[in-house]
Amino acid sequence: MVQTEQQIYAFPVLEIRPDGWFRFQYTPAGAAWAHTSHLNLGTVPLTIETWDISLEDAARVEFRRPGLAQPMRLAPSTNAPLQALVGPNSIIQPLDLEGDWLRVRVTQPAQGCTPLPGSSNLEGWVRWRSDADVPLVWFPASGC
């Protein structure tokens, strides 16, 4: 389970099948299957929201591995030239989605949602999903 907003937690859905079954991660090492009909069984409304939709609606994202700089490239390819390294103290705004790549506008350095003096803006491409279909970005738990 991962925190998506203040006091809101989610189970990452790893796979959705056409027959309504989906596999979700409930611990770093554990996954389970459930059916979409199970979402209506409790008193709390539950939904499945795909990454594509979530990323289109996101005002900003952050990398799931805090503290590590991530490469931003000139094009959506691991062979594209490196444009910059996106550090942990950055504001990352999604602009467009292409496969496993996310075009972003990055402001760095920043403190939370505030650009620091001398900060710069760059646009480029970052991987949002690994080769194993694991999300590399997440939505900040606190808004700006």
What is the tens place of the pLDDT at every residue in 83-140? Answer: 999 998 999 999 999 999 999 999 999 998 899 999 999 999 999 988 877 788 887 7
Over residues 43-80, the pLDDT tens digits come to: 988 889 887 778 878 889 988 777 789 999 999 999 99
Residue 16 domain-assigned (yes or no): yes
The DSSP letter of residue 36 is G
Instruction: Report pLDDT for 101.
Output: 96
Domain housing 115 = 59-138
- Report the CATH number at residue 74: 2.30.30
Place of tokens 């991962």: 2
Q: 116 lies in a domain?
A: yes
Number of other residues whose CB lies within 10 A of the CB of residue 92: 22
Same domain for 75 and 27, yes or no, is: no
Domain-embedded: residue 143: no
Number of domains in the chain: 2
| CB hemisphere CA count around 91 (13 angstroms) | 17
The model's pTM: 0.76
Considering the domain boundaries, does residue 144 fall inside one?
A: no
113 shares a domain with 81: yes
**Is 53 contained in some domain?**
no
